Every structure is written in structure tokens, then in C-alpha cells.
Amino acid sequence: MTTRSPQRADGWAAAVRQRLGLGRLLPLGGPGDGVWIAETAAASVLRGAAAVPGTVLGKLRIGSAAESAVDPAETGTSAVDRGARASAPAPASVSAAAPAPAPAPVSALPAGPLRIEAEFSAGADRPLPDAAAAVREALWAAADARLGLDIAEVDLRVTELLDGDAPDQVTPAVPTVPVATADGPAAVAAAGVPGVVSLTAVLGPAVRTAQDHVRIEVATAADRRALDVARSVRRAVAAATEDRLPVTVLVTNVVEPGPGT
């Protein structure tokens, strides 16, 4: 029987996530929250919020603020417009009665401040600093109010000046996420939390119980803050399991309401 080193296992898990279209797994909230979200799900929400008139958002990536920024001179694109926001003292996100923090998913980014890197085109009828400021504020506001991401920096790169009216924003389709049925006490508890659209099964079963923790995958509704829903899922699942194991929640999709809803 062969063994797989931790490094090879991490690389394998990252490759699987990439093939499944999740991108990176980003921390939601603070170190005590035990919640992560797929980069593709977060990026879809941010793109929708950053539809600033006169601009068209291009590539968007979310990563750790500790990562070194790319020098625009090395990419052949125009200058980067950087903006950093001083992090406010983190509120006590986990009460004394809340479940203990659980391990992060394999090769997920550790809890900590994040940075958004994005490219955009802008019309020539508006000063670029004003356009960049509007896009940045829209990204920051959505990251906090709709998701719960701790964003420390937003780096914007202007790639093109547009003649005339800016074309409509094009939002890449979010990969289809396999929906799972609620089977078992933990799954039923999670599925019953307000704001949970469905359980999902991307990295394995919707509920995976290990010796030291429980991991559960969910899709959340776009009209509720993803972090708040995930915190409620953690509490509900912890209360529903006999062993009271720590709970990790992974948000794999944020679902916009359909027509007529």
C-alpha cells in the first residue's frame, strides 16, 4: 500500500477543487468562525455588486493579503491603483456558548485578511481615480455586507479606456454545484437553517464526520450574509450531533433568487 505525503495530498486537493471550479477556499469571518467559502462563489457576488456605470470588470482574484502583489511592469498592463483599509478590531465572533473552532479544509487559505485583485476597463468621460474609487468601494461593501470577507486591500488594474458607452457587464457562469439530500441529524439541522438553499457535495459527502470534527457543505441565499448563515449552521450542527464535535462549514455557492421568487 502506498502513502501520500501531506504536501502531495494538499496539491491533489487543490487540483481537485480547481477541476471542480471552486477556486481557492477563502476564510469567512475570523479565526474562531470555522467557515470558508469557494472563491468562485465569492467572486460571483462581488462581480454583481461592482457593476459600476461606465466601467467593465475583468479578471478578479481573491487571495491572502500576505501574498506579494504582482508588479504591473512584469505583466505589460497599465498601472495598479492600490487601496488599503485599516482593519478594525475583530469583534468577538464566537460566543462562550458557540462551538469550538474546527480544522480548515485541506489546503484552504488560513484565517486572516484578504486582498482582491481585479482588472477593469473604464470610459474616458470620467476621471480614472473616481472610477477606481467607485469600483473599490463597491467591492469592499459587498465583501463585508453580503459575504463577511475580511478584505484589507483592493488592487485595481486599468486595462483599457473605452470609447463611448461602456458595454454591459459580463458575469461568468458559476459552476453547477451538486446538490445533496439532507440525510442524518447533522444534515437535517443544517438544511433547516434560514438562508441555506441546499446542502452540496463537491469535496465529498455533504456531511463528513472525522474523529476530531464535522465538515458540512452548503449553498446559501444571496439575500443573506453568507457568514451569518454559516455561523448558524455551525451552531445547529453542533447541537444536533451527539459527540458535540467542532464544525467546519464550507459555502460552495451563493444562490441568487430565481424569477418570481
Which pTM was predicted? 0.81
φ/ψ of residue 150, rounded to 5: -90, 95
Q: Render pLDDT for 9-51 as a digit per residue (tens, 0 to 9).
A: 555 665 555 556 788 999 999 888 999 999 999 999 999 888 8
pLDDT of residue 97: 52
DSSP 124: T
Q: What is the dihedral angle through the alpha carbons of 127, 128, 133, 134, rounded to the nearest 10 degrees?
A: 70
pLDDT greater than 50 at residue 218: yes
Q: Which domains does the chain have, with CATH numbers?
A: 21-38+172-255 (3.30.70), 42-88+96-162 (no CATH)
Of 239, 59, 72, 88, the C-alpha closest to 150 is: 88
- pLDDT single digits (tens) 82-102: 666 644 434 444 444 555 667
